């Protein structure tokens, strides 16, 4: 699962970049990595569900700019967001270095922390949170 043999500093410093990176990760999880991660019976249904959930990404991005007060209320601005993104970057770097299922699960936990707050501020974000939870359950 390792997509790079070297470590690098992933520059996730705002929610738009976070969403782009989550999309890229989920594309890999339900695409080329799915044979390694999931029982065969779930591979296509998961891919179909991800295709549906991806539709809300642009809606979320569009609403981020107009939801700054709400984002602040759920801890997705300023120093609270910076702390969450630092934890996320650390987990992402560890996963990219070693690529184990255990490190993927830790990364998904950090993603969930941010997606959960995002879904509170922007309800359409719930679709991303739900697909992430399905991925976690299927990984086991």
120 within domain boundaries: yes
Q: Is residue 7 part of a domain?
A: no
Task: With respect to residue 123, please indicate whether it lies within any of the assigned structural domains.
Answer: yes
Confidence at residue 9, expressed as pLDDT on a 0 to 100 scale? 54
Q: Is 105 inside a domain boundary? A: yes
What DSSP line would sit under 23-75, residue for residue? HHHHHHHHTTTHHHHS-HHHHHHHHHHHHHHHTTHHHHHHHHGGGHHHHHHTT
Convert the pLDDT of each residue in 23-49 to its tens digit: 999 999 999 999 999 999 999 999 999
Q: Is residue 9 part of a domain?
A: no
Reported as a single tens digit per residue, the pLDDT across 98-117 is 999 999 999 999 999 999 99
State what percent of residues in the chain have pLDDT above 90: 89
Over residues 87-94, mean pLDDT: 96
Domain enclosing residue 58, as ranges = 15-30+42-139
Q: Six-digit token pair at 35?
A: 């044979």
The answer to whether position 57 is within a domain reads: yes
Average pLDDT over every residue of 79-96: 96
Q: State how many domains the chain has.
A: 1
Structure tokens at 140: 């086991």
For residue 128, being part of any structural domain is answered with yes
pLDDT confidence band for 10 (50 / 70 / 90): low
Is there a domain that residue 36 lies in?
Answer: no
């Amino acid at each position: 699962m390792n997509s790079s043999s070297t470590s690098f500093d992933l520059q996730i410093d705002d929610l738009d970049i976070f969403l782009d990176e989550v999309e890229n990760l989920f594309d890999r999880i339900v695409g080329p990595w799915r044979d390694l991660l999931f029982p065969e019976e779930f591979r296509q249904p998961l891919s179909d569900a991800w295709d549906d959930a991806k539709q809300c990404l642009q809606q979320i991005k569009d609403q981020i700019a107009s939801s700054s007060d709400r984002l602040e209320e759920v801890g997705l601005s300023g120093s609270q967001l910076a702390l969450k993104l630092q934890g996320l970057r650390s987990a992402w770097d560890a996963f990219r270095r070693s690529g184990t299922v255990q490190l993927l699960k830790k990364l998904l936990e950090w993603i969930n922390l941010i997606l959960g707050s995002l879904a509170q501020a922007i309800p359409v974000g719930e679709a991303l949170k739900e697909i992430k939870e399905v991925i976690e359950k299927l990984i086991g």
